[in-house]
Amino acid sequence: MFRTRDFILLFTAIAFLVSAIGVTVFIQGNASQSVARSNAALQQQLAAVGVEDYQAVIATRDGLDRSQRVAQMRSKISQATDLRAPEPEVLAVTEPELATTTEGEVAKPAGLDQCAGYAPYLGFWDARNLAVTESEGAILVTRSEVLPTGSSTHTTLLQLPKRVTPAPDQSCISSDVIGIANDGSLIRNDELGLYSVFSSDTRIGYALDGFAIYGTGDAPVDQCGGRVQGGQYRYELQPAGEFIISCFAAAPVRLP
């Protein structure tokens, strides 16, 4: 049985739905009218200012094909100013010229009698606990070691002949090492500046040919860099020299 309450609810829902539809139709009608009025006003404004239709026009060169346009472009480029960056200036580097022999080999340093097989000394030389002494006409380079028992041993590493006068023929220099210093270290021929602080009264060591080497002096020397002093031949450093000696006054011994 249909109750009054249900009838009222159904009527209310139908009334609400009809009202919503009516409001929607009214709003859409007003919006359409507004759009129409806007379009009409815009058309009137355009007509008032006299707006014309515009068309895109592509500019072309009538009567010129592609090859002719390329030729015309090349002609303009050739007549234009050269805008390329200037080439960088190349500075000539002058290398020091080395004196060479007729066979193309680098010549020996001036004033130095260098052997054909000259090479730097690459052997191992331990100068610790070394002593340089004269004994029975020889110069000995020995190493002293203390054993755990408290006793000491002496090992001879090198023996140089003790000479007084130079040999008839000089000998060339085969290595950069030309002698032994007083402390047992090696003397290299290019270390003139290291030992030039000593005077000609100080013996700095012995050359490998057995002659003593003394500090800087002002007395004239021979072609090897030595002279006779007190009846004995010895080498003396020269302040204007480049090497300690220029040659051996006698045959040198070889380092181990």
Residue 139 has pLDDT above 70, yes or no: yes
Residue 107 has pLDDT above 80, yes or no: no
Residue 104 has pLDDT above 50, yes or no: no
Give the per-residue pLDDT at 206: 96
Instruction: Give residue limits of the domains in the chain.
Output: 1-42, 164-237
Which has the minimum average pLDDT: 2-11, 55-64, 87-96, 147-156?
87-96
- Global pTM? 0.58
Residue 170 has pLDDT above 80, yes or no: yes
Q: Which of 206, 188, 229 is nearest to 139 (CA)?
A: 206
Residue 221 has pLDDT above 90, yes or no: yes
Residues 6+ apart with CB under 8 A from 234: 211, 212, 213, 214, 226, 227, 228
What's the mean per-residue pLDDT of the chain? 78
How many other CB atoms sit within 10 Å of the CB of residue 224? 22
Residue 12 has pLDDT above 60, yes or no: yes
Regarding predicted confidence, which is higher, 169 or 101? 169
Mean pLDDT, rounded, for 111-140: 89
Percentage of the chain surpassing pLDDT 90?
41
CA distance 89 to 227: 56
pLDDT band at 1 (very low <50, low <70, confident <90, very high): low
Regarding predicted confidence, which is higher, 167 or 35? 167
Residue 20 has pLDDT above 90, yes or no: no
Q: Nearest 5°: CA angle at 122, between 202 and 138? A: 45
Residue burial 193-203, b: 16+ Cβ < 10 Å; e: rest:
eebbeeebeee
How many other CB atoms sit within 10 Å of the CB of residue 180? 25
